[in-house]
Each structure stands twice: as structure tokens, then as C-alpha cells.
Amino acid sequence: MYLAEQELVDVAALERVLGHFTWAFLVARPLYSIFSSIYEYIRINQGRCVPWWPSARAELDLESRLVHFASLSLRRTVAPLLLVTDAEA
């Protein structure tokens, strides 16, 4: 992933990318176990452009490699009706 290859990271941009991963991982909740260092990295460096922590960089790289596991089979019948909503109003 391009962002992980940079020496310095704009933490606001990283936060947006993490938001996209978070949304994608909603269908495969075990993938959330990857997030740990990256949340702390963002919390501590909010609004800055700083060098990567090796652990945060590794998590971003892993997330980008595992995002294809964020899929859901709609062939399994759970209920006769499927309702999908978005929290945004």
C-alpha cells in the first residue's frame, strides 16, 4: 500500500483510510483484531505528519492484504427478508 511505503504519514489521511477498512471489515468482525497499534498511533499523533511506528505500519500492511476476506455470502438464508441500512442521515 502506498501510504505504508512513505517515511512520514499524514495522520488525518491515515485516519480516513482506517475508516474505510473499518467499514469493509463490518462483514467479517474477526478482522477487527488486527487493529491495535494503529489506533494508538492515531490517538497520540492526531493532526500531525510524523514517522511511522513499525507496528502501525505492519498493521496497515496486514489490513490491506486481508481486506479480500471482508466478504459475506448472501446465499445462506437467515430470514425471508433482507434489510440493509446506512447509519448516515
52: Cα separation from own chain's centroid:
16
Contact indicator for 70, 50 with CB cutoff of 8 Å: no
Question: What is the reported pLDDT for 39?
Answer: 92
pLDDT tier at 79, thresholds 50, 70, 90:
low
For residue 21, what is its C-alpha cell? Answer: 477498512
Of residues 81 and 14, the one with the higher pLDDT is 14
Mean pLDDT, rounded, of the chain: 85
Q: What is the per-residue pLDDT for 43?
A: 94
* Alpha-carbon gap, residue 73 to 4, rounded angstroms: 30
Burial class (CB in 10 A: 0-12, 13-18, 19+), 78: exposed
Read off the pLDDT of each residue in 54-58 and give the average, rounded to a whole number.
93
Residue 4 pLDDT:
84
Its pTM surpasses 0.85: no
